[in-house]
């Protein structure tokens, strides 16, 4: 996934942030269980904007692993 992000021109900071968010999610839920991941993210006591950044990272994971699922869209506050 990291090589794919580099190939698409993502900045190093974006790649690092994505990896950190995915590692954090992986500690609590199975990343391949999309429903549990979404429930976990939506139940976190964090800001709406942080949830959006976690959802973007998770969508990158899904795309890199050819998992056909679209995460819910949240609007920035």
Q: What is the pLDDT of residues 18-67, one digit of tens each?
A: 999 999 999 999 999 999 999 999 999 999 999 999 999 999 999 999 99
CB 57 within 8 A of CB 51: no
Tell me the pLDDT tens digit for each residue of 45-54: 999 999 999 9
pTM of the model as a whole: 0.88
Please list, in sequence order, all residues whose beta carbon lies within 8 angstroms of the beta carbon of residue 62, skipping any fewer than 6 positions away.
34, 68, 69, 71
Whether the CB-CB separation of 59 and 71 falls below 8 Å is answered with: yes
Q: What is the number of residues in the chain?
A: 77
Domain boundaries in the chain? 2-64
pLDDT value of position 48: 92
């Amino acid at each position: 996934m990291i090589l794919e992000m580099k190939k698409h021109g993502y900045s190093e900071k974006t790649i690092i942030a994505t990896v950190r968010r995915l590692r954090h999610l992986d500690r609590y839920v199975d990343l391949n269980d999309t429903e549990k991941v979404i429930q976990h993210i939506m139940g976190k006591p964090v800001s709406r904007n942080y949830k959006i950044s976690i959802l973007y990272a998770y969508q990158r994971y899904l795309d890199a692993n050819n998992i056909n699922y679209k995460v819910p869209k949240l609007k920035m506050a």
